[in-house]
Copies of this chain bind each other. A is one copy, B any other.
């Protein structure tokens, strides 16, 4: 169920994009312990000048590979969130060569009644999930 929205600057090949999404999903599965087919990802590719990610003075150096990942999820413990950030950073670095300065994550929580996966049902409420 976590919904992952990726914002990138144009320039990756379809193969690079697919590897990015596959790897991010693996990190999600491991960090939040969701089922393997609990995969919901959308990518928006921006032109230069349409995606500005600075660093709040933290000293991070962003390149054109920078990734903004916006996640919507049911509530998660702080421990799970920290694990997600670390695994996402590590795996995207190892599998996709993404610099650790080039990943920013923002999370928003909602609740069980806020999801309908199909058929007009709220599966967390009906007991289907």
Contact = CB atoms under 8 A, between A and B. Distances in A.
Interface of A: 1, 3, 7, 14, 17-18, 21, 34-35, 37-46, 49-58, 60, 68, 70, 72, 78, 81-82, 85-90, 100-110, 113-123, 125, 128-129
Main SS of chain A's interface residues?
Answer: mixed
Contacts of A68: 3, 40, 42
Given A18-B49, A43-B46, A44-B46, 20 more contacts: A7-B42, A38-B56, A39-B54, A40-B52, A40-B54, A40-B104, A42-B46, A42-B50, A42-B51, A43-B49, A56-B117, A58-B123, A72-B108, A81-B113, A81-B122, A85-B116, A89-B120, A104-B116, A105-B115, A107-B114
Contacts of A35: 56-57
